Amino acid sequence: MTATGALQKQAIKVRAYPLPTFANEGKLARVHALLGPWRDALGGMQAQLHRQILTGQPLMKRMPTKITDLTFTTELSARQVKSVYNQTFQALNSWTGLVRNAVRELIGGSGLDDETRTVLYRVNARKAWYAKELVLPILVNKATGEVRHSDGKPGKGWAAAELPVPAELLKLCRHMVKQVGKRAVSLPDLSRVNTMLMDGTIAQVEPSKNSSFDYWIRISTLVKRDVAWIPLKAHRFFIDSPGEVSDFVQLNVLKDGSLQFVLQKKSPIARPRPEGEYLGLDWGMKSLFAASDGRLFGVGAMPHLTELDRQALELAKSLQRQGIRLKTNRRYRNFQRRMREYIVNEVNRILNKLSTEDIQGLVVEKLDARGGGMSREMNRLVTRFGRAAIRKKLAALTEDTGLDVIEVNAAYTSKECSSCGLVHDGNRKGLKFSCRFCGRKTHADINGARVVLSRRSWHTQGDSKTKSQRGTVRQRLDDAFKARWGCAPPTRGSTGSRIPGSRRRSAVRLATAPSQAPVRMRENVEKVP
């Protein structure tokens, strides 16, 4: 394969960058006038495509009908309607993808037999929940009659056949989708969005030929043959980012009614790093990150964030006493913006630094807002702004630098000892971790990062367990402890016994004979920073 051919097969990443505009009010008003008709068209297009899904028809990537075949009326042009269709398709395709993932979890957690689950998995993979009839391709061994569920071509000794899906299984799929829609993945209402995705047929991006501005956007308005030329100024971050500018514009209407113009850049995704160590990261209580190698990152950021958060809460209470809505107060919005920008900048700075090190990947907790292990103050700050920034940055690092990112289940990472594997409520007190079984002492966040790193083995075994319930994870950890040490882990509520060989009292009672308990070694004791 030639170098050109290899580049064509390499995956492409797309990044969005909002750029400031200096257009006059008249131009902005003509563009803003598109929002109302655009919303109405999105709502009508969504209803039309959703009806197709409910009748078992697949979504078509390209608009299959003419504008005269639409079930709704619109004042948009035919080219603008095509952009509306593309935006609707992307939204519904993303929604059906989320539904498919949620249904797959329901199937995996059900008590159905293996054959039934296999058929349901294949129906779900095709998103054929509403099909009236469905036939799945299978392979049959000519000699033994063995059946394999496969979409591939038959090999030697195998013959292609078809398996009709029973009507009751299709009905079960529809029931699962209904439950998922009520509890987990609701259908979005596109008629309320404030974003217009305009492709090159109605919004062309052209480099500026003078030094006043960097780009001009040519946008078709509601009036036939009328276009608005919008000037944009590129910032340094956009200029330094790799890739080519796409002929595509994302137009956001902000809460204050102003317009935000977003351009895209396309570039090849970096190939995975071939070698190097993995580093575990834990979201700290008094630091943004703790690493499995003993480093703490973002310690100095916490006092600043805590002070900003205190001021924001005081202002919120004052505004609420006065009956003023928080979203309408400029000072409160500025506090929110400053906290968000500060956290994003700190997260990006830390993760950028780690990406330059000689490591192959990072092992992190699954980013789930329901996870514990953080103080209430930190949980509020990070949940509000940090998690989205972390998730976005880690995805960017994977695409830009080839860094492998593995998410593991966060359950009990703050209570599990990274040395012996004991999970106990009394192991952690604030920033101090002192194991009740082996006596290991270390910084609690660093211990958590090492536990996170150890769970990489779950992922490499093809079992990441990021969706498992806490009780399932606890049972797995207790079973591993028993298999390793030959004794059951100490009970959560037991107190007061001495571990043989230890120079201090344990706060738990061993459930087995003293001779089976491990002896605490001096080298297991670490100083708590």
249 vs 7, higher pLDDT? 249
> What is the rounded distance in angstroms from the CA atom of residue 223 to the CA atom of residue 201?
16
The answer to whether 289 and 41 have CB atoms below 8 angstroms apart is no
Q: How distant, in Å, are the alpha carbons of 422, 427, 432, 448 from that of 441?
A: 13, 9, 7, 12
Give the relative orientation of helices 35-54 and 78-108 as an angle to the nearest 10 degrees.
50
Given the structure tokens 């004791």, which residue do they identify? 525
The answer to whether 150 and 181 have CB atoms below 8 angstroms apart is no
> What is the rounded distance in angstroms from the CA atom of residue 214 to the CA atom of residue 202?
20
**Least confident segment among 109-113, 378-382, 388-392, 507-511:** 507-511
Q: What is the mean pLDDT of residues 516-524?
A: 37
The predicted-structure confidence for 444-473, as pLDDT tens digits, reads as follows 999 999 999 999 988 765 554 555 677 888
The residue ranges of DSSP E strands in 221-323, in sequence order, are 227-232, 244-253, 259-268, 277-283, 289-291, 296-297
Q: How distant, in Å, are the alpha carbons of 393, 423, 467 from that of 336?
A: 20, 37, 31
Name, in order, each residue with C-beta under 8 angstroms of 450's C-beta and a sequence gap of 6 or more: 280, 292, 418
The answer to whether 265 and 18 have CB atoms below 8 angstroms apart is no
DSSP 116-162: HHHHHHHHHHTT-TT-SS-EEEEEEETTT--EEE-SS---TTEEEEE
> What is the rounded distance in angstroms from the CA atom of residue 416 to the CA atom of residue 474?
10
> Which is nearest to 36 in space by CA: 194, 145, 161?
194
Quote the tokens at residue 141. 């061994």
Name, in order, each residue with C-beta under 8 angstroms of 340's C-beta and a sequence gap of 6 or more: 384, 385
Q: Looking at residue 526, what is its pLDDT?
A: 43
The predicted-structure confidence for 327-352, as pLDDT tens digits, reads as follows 888 888 888 788 888 888 988 999 99
**Percent of the chain residues past pLDDT 70, beyond the cut:** 85
Q: What is the mean pLDDT of residues 478-491?
A: 88
β-pair partners for 279: 362
Q: Looking at residue 341, what is its pLDDT?
A: 85
**13 pLDDT tier (thresholds 50, 70, 90):** confident
Which secondary structure element, helix H or strand E, spans residue 19, and what is its range? strand 12-19
Q: What is the mean pLDDT of residues 158-168?
A: 93
Q: Looking at residue 379, what is its pLDDT?
A: 58
Alpha helices in 267-415 (DSSP H): 301-321, 330-355, 376-381, 387-401
**25 pLDDT tier (thresholds 50, 70, 90):** very high
Quote the tokens at residue 343. 């956290």
Distance of CA 113 to the CA centre of its chain: 31
Cα angle, residue 38 at apex, residues 37 and 43 outer, rounded to 5°: 95
> Which is nearest to 79 in space by CA: 219, 181, 206?
219
Q: Looking at residue 129, what is its pLDDT?
A: 93
3-state secondary structure of 257: coil
**pLDDT surpassing 60 at residue 219:** yes
23 vs 490, higher pLDDT? 23
> What is the rounded distance in angstroms from the CA atom of residue 293 to the CA atom of residue 295?
6
Q: Looking at residue 173, what is its pLDDT?
A: 92
**pLDDT surpassing 60 at residue 265:** yes
263 vs 500, higher pLDDT? 263
Distance of CA 451 to the CA centre of its chain: 22
**514 pLDDT tier (thresholds 50, 70, 90):** very low
**326 pLDDT tier (thresholds 50, 70, 90):** confident
The answer to whether 72 and 48 have CB atoms below 8 angstroms apart is yes
Ramachandran bin of 53, using left for φ above 0, alpha for ψ from -120 to 50, beta for the remaining angles: alpha
The answer to whether 95 and 185 have CB atoms below 8 angstroms apart is yes
Q: Looking at residue 338, what is its pLDDT?
A: 83
The predicted-structure confidence for 180-200, as pLDDT tens digits, reads as follows 988 778 899 999 999 999 999
> Which is nearest to 261 in space by CA: 24, 31, 23, 21?
21
> What is the rounded distance in angstroms from the CA atom of residue 290 to the CA atom of residue 418?
14
Q: Looking at residue 463, what is its pLDDT?
A: 52
Q: Looking at residue 215, what is its pLDDT?
A: 95
CB-count exposure of residue 116 (10 Å: 0-12, 13-18, 19+)? middle
Q: What is the mean pLDDT of residues 420-424?
A: 93
**pLDDT surpassing 50 at residue 418:** yes
Q: Looking at residue 228, what is its pLDDT?
A: 95
**pLDDT surpassing 70 at residue 302:** yes
Q: Looking at residue 85, what is its pLDDT?
A: 95
Q: Looking at residue 421, what is its pLDDT?
A: 92
Cα angle, residue 200 at apex, residues 14 and 217 outer, rounded to 5°: 90
**pLDDT surpassing 50 at residue 401:** yes
Q: Looking at residue 373, what is its pLDDT?
A: 42
The predicted-structure confidence for 493-513, as pLDDT tens digits, reads as follows 544 333 443 333 343 433 333
> What is the rounded distance in angstroms from the CA atom of residue 222 to the CA atom of residue 228?
10
Cα angle, residue 436 at apex, residues 430 and 442 outer, rounded to 5°: 50
> What is the rounded distance in angstroms from the CA atom of residue 406 to the CA atom of residue 195?
32
State the average pLDDT for the chain: 83
> What is the rounded distance in angstroms from the CA atom of residue 200 to the CA atom of residue 204?
5
**527 pLDDT tier (thresholds 50, 70, 90):** very low
**Least confident segment among 110-124, 239-253, 330-344, 506-520:** 506-520
**Percent of the chain residues past pLDDT 90, beyond the cut:** 51
**492 pLDDT tier (thresholds 50, 70, 90):** low
The predicted-structure confidence for 63-106, as pLDDT tens digits, reads as follows 876 767 788 999 999 999 999 999 999 999 999 999 999 999 89
CA torsion angle 32 37 39 43 (round to 10): -170
The answer to whether 408 and 465 have CB atoms below 8 angstroms apart is yes
Q: How distant, in Å, are the alpha carbons of 75, 217, 219, 517 from that of 224?
A: 11, 17, 12, 83
